[in-house]
Chain A
Amino acid sequence: MFHVSFRYIFGIPPLILVLLPVASSDCDIGGKDGRVYQNVLMISIDDLDSMIDFDSNCLNNESNFFKKHSCGDNKEASFLYRAARKLKQFPKMNNSEDFNFHLSRVSQGTLQLLNCTSKVKGRKPPSLGEAQPTKNLEENKSVKEQKKLNDLCFLKILLQKIKTCWNKILRGVKEH
């Protein structure tokens, strides 16, 4: 009897405390009226989308990122947070100045609107991908180009997901 009571007192409450944050949202979204998104972020997303010129094959490239993270109910803010942090990695690529500025505006502007907890902030940002060892310069060059194409393809899909998620948030605000 005494061992059973110990289990209930010291076992279950901590379990509840650990599980509660999983069900709740980690971030709060500012600018739900849509003015910031429609006047600034959406313009940069559209410009980036026009700069990334790919064929339809790009859509079939499903990354592990999208398998892990999606714009589900009550998870819109956390998805946008992770997507914005993912975008921060792209300016490091050798792109045009306007391209990088638009990327920075989308990522930085999204992060400024979101107010996330330290738990979410403390997570290690997902990396784009690890470089594979190459045999010679030519192979290295082709691999880099392929990697750049894959990253741009991933970026295009990510931007579309971000746009869809913002539309979902604004639609939910209008219904309420």
Chain B
Amino acid sequence: MTILGTALGLVFYLLQVVSGESGYAENGDFDDAELDDYSFSCYSQLEVNGSQHLLTCAFDDPDVNSTNLEFEICGALLDVNCLSFNKLQEMYFIKTKKFLLIGDSEICVKLERKSMTCRKMNIVKIVKPEAPFDVRVIYREAANDFVVTFNTSHLRKKYVKELMHEVAYRQEKNENNWVHVNLSSTKLMLLQRNLQPDAMYEIKVRSIPDTNYFEGFWSEWSPSFHFRTPETSITGQMDPVALTISILSFFSVALVVILACVLWKKRIKPMVWPSLPDHKKTLEQLCKKPKKNLNVSFNPESFLDCQIHKVDGIQARDEAEGFLQDPLPSQPEDSEKQRLGEGMQGPNWPSEHPVFTPKTFIGESPFRCLAGNISVCDAPVLPSSRSPDCREGGKNGPLVHQDLLLGPGTTNSTLPSPFPFQSGILTLNPAAQGQPALTSLGSSQEEAYVTMSSFYQNQ
């Protein structure tokens, strides 16, 4: 029994091997090699004729002998289990309203009622939309663009309403240089600047389902539309208002440039880059203002050392009178000037001749001017009022200087002060000729003394 069973098993095994020799599918089913030639593909079109749907299938291999072959669809149908296809040349189709549109169907190739090959498909996942039509291109001169419009029958359908469209255009000279644009509406704008002027263009459109339920393939291309882009001309396209404005602005800019060049030196440059005023002239102008008959000059011959101090008017006058009553030696004017000149020599002068600074005399000593024709300088006095007196005093007689001015050789000598105050009021001693008879009135402080004349000479 055991041997018999083993023999039978071997026989059956050999039979299986022989029968499955020609083909063995990966899924374990035994398929004939000839079935591979019956591979097919299908697509559906919903509401193609009113509420009727169309399902079309065809063999992938066009050389298949489809004489006795039939197609059948089963499942996901309304009120029926299966439907048979109609044959038209090499295409198999079925036009019906009985698609459930929910769930999978099974499409089989039958040879004499025997299923040769079957494929499970979902009708809503193999939708191929109808091709768009009525493609038109309109040029808008005002906007400088082209408006592309087209129509599709799916706008009036109930199931496959939302589509994604693809517009393709090219210049007719450039073959296979298509530009693709995707859009969901049926209107597209093409800018004129993106197209070549005076050129012939070709444009076409196709669609694909764009919903989360219906899926499928691209439709056929729409019939092409040809259009020519206009020539671009500068004068023709220029707006007259813009042209006028541009001309006016050009001329105004030119006028501004010319005026700037002409008025540069006289008006513009002094305002933009003002020149620094001369200090001498400025001072002359300042001095001119208070008194008209005031003659101000920076001639060193007319310089006089005049110091201005804050003084008590009454006391200054009394003291001035008392001072003027004392005999004072007179100095010849020339020697005095020589001494003054010697006293104010060069840059080394401050070191050789210790001087009093005007600061020490502020509020202490009145201003004194002594001359042959004595004219007492009233205190407090303005610089303008003092200077002529000082000048007169310089010309006529000995001078009284509040600042101590020592000539050469008299550095260490102390000069007696006729006045009771400590401030140094210098008096010229006419007896000591050749030597500056300047008396120091008490202050041993050496202070820098700078006069206008020395300042001028230093320059």
Contacts and interface: CB of A to CB of B under 8 A. Distances in A.
Which of B78, B103, B158, B214 has the most A CB atoms < 10 Å from its CB? B78
Nearest to B96: A101
Interface in B66-103: 78-79, 97-98, 100-103
B97 A101 contact: yes
Contacts of B98: 101
Chain A, interface size category, equals 10 to 19
A39 B159 contact: yes
Interface string A92-124: 000001101100110011001100000000000
Interface string A43-76: 1000100000000000000000000000000000
Nearest to A31: B102
B12 interface: no
A105 B213 contact: no
Given A98-B51, A105-B101, A109-B102, A40 B78 contact: no
Nearest to B211: A39
A89 to B, nearest CB: 13
B212 interface: yes
B97 A113 contact: no
Given A97-B97, A98-B51, A113-B102, A108 B212 contact: no
A36 interface: yes
A112 B159 CA distance: 19
A36 B124 CA distance: 11
Contacts of B124: 39
Chain B, interface size category, equals 10 to 19
A38 B212 CA distance: 11
Given A98-B51, A112-B102, A112-B103, A39 B213 contact: yes
Contacts of A40: 101-102, 159, 213
Nearest to B214: A39
Interface string B31-60: 000000000000000000001000000000
Contact of A104 (B79, B211, B212, B213): B79
Given A101-B78, A104-B79, A43 B97 contact: no
B163 to A, nearest CB: 14
A43 B159 contact: yes
Contacts of A36: 102, 213
A39 B212 CA distance: 9
B78 A104 contact: yes
A143 B214 CA distance: 45
B214 A105 contact: no
A29 to B, nearest CB: 14
A40 B159 CA distance: 7
A100 B79 CA distance: 10
A43 B103 CA distance: 17
Contact of A43 (B79, B158, B211): B158
B79 A91 contact: yes
Contact of A35 (B78, B103, B213): B213
A81 to B, nearest CB: 16
A53 B51 CA distance: 21
Contact of A109 (B97, B100, B158, B159): B100
Interface in B299-356: none
A145 B151 CA distance: 45
Interface of A: 35-36, 38-40, 43, 47, 91, 97-98, 100-101, 104-105, 108-109, 112-113
The 5 closest A-B pairs by CB, nearest first: A39-B213, A104-B78, A109-B102, A35-B213, A40-B101
27 contacts: A35-B212, A35-B213, A36-B102, A36-B213, A38-B213, A39-B124, A39-B213, A39-B214, A40-B101, A43-B158, A91-B79, A97-B97, A100-B79, A101-B97, A101-B98, A104-B78, A104-B79, A105-B78, A105-B100, A105-B101, A108-B78, A108-B100, A109-B100, A109-B102, A112-B100, A112-B102, A112-B103
Given A39-B214, A108-B100, 11 more contacts: A40-B159, A43-B158, A91-B79, A97-B97, A98-B51, A100-B79, A101-B78, A101-B97, A105-B78, A105-B101, A112-B103
